[in-house]
Structure 1
């Protein structure tokens, strides 16, 4: 059972359309506008579905900003659709996406007690501010200097600004930082015993556990340094050159994985892979042939429920598709209908998966 199966084609179109409605509602960049034009050109169904979703959720005002792509919205005849079970499921998913953009659960802001200073914290630094999101939530935080932080599910990050640096300490979870340029005060993200440093750029950091994390650069360049080296980086010593050689520098479209404090080779990843990997920003998970266990590991980050594959016959199943983050029932239904994989919830909150008899 090693096949990769792309299922629910119609649902995929509705998922894509719902994403474009949400993006139109918050405003498109020039790059996204071109991407939407391309998507609409692929099939007449795409335009029909986009207009239908706009009528369904009363978002025709969003489409008006791209009036050159359509006939005037007011002249568009209302689209009526009879929803069966699958149709209403799609509609519910669309509603969740639109609400997710308009009503994002804000990050909890906590004035944290003064901690033991990190080697990077200057004595003139301000008091720490702690931001965190719950399981299944994600949020956007605009910092005073214009830097924007996007926090994924179950994330906790403290922020300290001083005269000489902007320090973010990622304690758990995942963080995308769009850094406002300030050459005099570099922005640093401390993660474990490493520091990701940038001046004006954008990058994503995913802390899997205390010793393992990934860095993906979407704009500009960053340097990944050892925390011990940063503490005395201003001290000239015979070993300074050796330490510099240990630094990892990443550019746009590059990924670095650190495992057990050992950096592996930097790899170049394409725009599509980056888009899929960061689809959590729109409340989604995208799978393109991952194993069932890998998919479940990702989904488990967005729900308090746990998964257990109890049947070795399904261990090689690979899946593809777009799912709402935290939509456990949607994934379980897809596994049942496409792979005959049954699920059973135990009393201790574990979902066991096996081949249906």
Structure 2
């Protein structure tokens, strides 16, 4: 997809996201109508995304999706036959004429932290990104494009508001679109977790050969996506706080299995922690621990739970 087409798609996604806000006003509708009238590319991107999202929502509700006429009525402006034909050509990619010249792409800037690292970076648009342990991101920011790729690890975003320019985070096949908000994204293979502390976020599944699937979450919500499924925990403020405790250098566990707790600590240590016994791994624990003080955590397991902790230069082994 060319530069203008890509940006028109991102802006269309932002408009659709804003339309779902409960305080959507007539003035905002007028702004949207003006943007749609600016170019056929804008209208084509909007209609294509709106149809895809409406169809996905209809399938989820087991209802008939909107017809093209119903979609057109959602953004009624001065449609002419020639405009309809040109828009259809743009939507389905059958236009043989190049009507624009793509600008030079913005070179992404790379940022990374080592195991146990923690770094906050400022982006050119005024946004801030806080990187957790073993994290790698790329950011491409200019006047009308704000895109970040989370290649691995976990990052917390404080997005500066910029009218008309969405902030987009790609994590594998997941695309997170926002305007100005605070949220975190964690990527572990094909598992992506999104926790929101402020504002509104749209999480999409861009898997090939699948209809566009999206979930909208707000402050206090948590979304966990894996494969073709997305689980949303609404009003999960405590879970969100636990998920973001790393920003204070802490790991917080609430009725967490020892296996999961150990997996968290292993992210901050070059020595893997092993639990061969499934019964030991299933023990539930609670508490808050310093992420970089695994020794204190291991002492607790020995003192409070009577578990055996064996260490060498390469591994830590926990057993009954």
TM (norm. structure 1) is 0.58
State the match for 1:294 in structure 2.
Answer: 260
Give yes or no for contact 1:201–1:221 (8 Å, CA) kept in 2: yes
Tell me how far apart the structure 1 counterparts of residues 247 and 179 of structure 2 sit (CA, whole Å).
Answer: 23
Tell me how far apart the structure 1 counterparts of residues 138 and 290 of structure 2 sit (CA, whole Å).
Answer: 28
Tell me how far apart the structure 2 counterparts of residues 131 and 227 of structure 1 sit (CA, whole Å).
Answer: 24
The C-alpha deviation readout for 1:188-234, integer Å capped at 9, x for no partner, is 0011012101011111100011x1111111111111224479xxxxx
Superposition pairs for residues 213-224 of structure 1, below 5 Å? Answer: 213-224=192-203
The C-alpha deviation readout for 1:105-143, integer Å capped at 9, x for no partner, is xxxxxxxxxxxxxxxxx7433221101111111111111
Structure 2 CA distance for partners of 1:312 and 1:156, relative to 1, 3 Å:
closer
Tell me how far apart the structure 1 counterparts of residues 312 and 148 of structure 2 sit (CA, whole Å).
Answer: 40
Structure 2 regions of 5+ residues with no counterpart? 1-101
State the match for 1:237 in structure 2.
Answer: none
Tell me how far apart the structure 2 counterparts of residues 322 and 336 of structure 1 sit (CA, whole Å).
Answer: 17
| 1:251 and 2:218 matched | yes
State the match for 2:310 in structure 1.
Answer: 344
Q: 1:172 aligns with which of 139, 145, 152?
A: 152
| 1:354 and 2:297 matched | no
Tell me how far apart the structure 1 counterparts of residues 206 and 143 of structure 2 sit (CA, whole Å).
Answer: 19
- CA deviation after TM superposition for structure 1 residue 276, in Å: 1.6
Structure 1 regions of 5+ residues with no counterpart? 1-121, 230-241
Structure 2 CA distance for partners of 1:254 and 1:312, relative to 1, 3 Å:
closer
Give yes or no for contact 2:129–2:157 (8 Å, CA) kept in 1: yes
Tell me how far apart the structure 1 counterparts of residues 218 and 150 of structure 2 sit (CA, whole Å).
Answer: 21
Give yes or no for contact 2:125–2:141 (8 Å, CA) kept in 1: no
Tell me how far apart the structure 1 counterparts of residues 124 and 130 of structure 2 sit (CA, whole Å).
Answer: 15
Tell me how far apart the structure 1 counterparts of residues 105 and 144 of structure 2 sit (CA, whole Å).
Answer: 9
Aligned length: 219
Q: 1:200 aligns with which of 180, 183, 192?
A: 180
State the match for 1:8 in structure 2.
Answer: none
- 3-state secondary structure, aligned to 1:293: helix
Tell me how far apart the structure 1 counterparts of residues 279 and 186 of structure 2 sit (CA, whole Å).
Answer: 31
Runs of at least 4 residues of structure 1 off by over 6 A? none
The C-alpha deviation readout for 1:83-122, integer Å capped at 9, x for no partner, is xxxxxxxxxxxxxxxxxxxxxxxxxxxxxxxxxxxxxxx7
Higher relative contact order (CA 8 A, sep 6+): 1
- CA deviation after TM superposition for structure 1 residue 283, in Å: 0.5
- 3-state secondary structure, aligned to 1:167: strand
Structure 2 CA distance for partners of 1:253 and 1:313, relative to 1, 3 Å:
closer
- 3-state secondary structure, aligned to 2:267: helix
- CA deviation after TM superposition for structure 1 residue 313, in Å: 4.3
Structure 2 CA distance for partners of 1:328 and 1:228, relative to 1, 3 Å:
closer
- CA deviation after TM superposition for structure 1 residue 314, in Å: 2.0
Tell me how far apart the structure 2 counterparts of residues 270 and 313 of structure 1 sit (CA, whole Å).
Answer: 28
Tell me how far apart the structure 2 counterparts of residues 180 and 134 of structure 1 sit (CA, whole Å).
Answer: 27
Give yes or no for contact 2:250–2:290 (8 Å, CA) kept in 1: yes
Tell me how far apart the structure 2 counterparts of residues 220 and 331 of structure 1 sit (CA, whole Å).
Answer: 35
Tell me how far apart the structure 2 counterparts of residues 273 and 251 of structure 1 sit (CA, whole Å).
Answer: 14
TM (norm. structure 2) is 0.64
Give yes or no for contact 1:125–1:162 (8 Å, CA) kept in 2: no
State the match for 1:75 in structure 2.
Answer: none
RMSD, aligned CA: 2.1
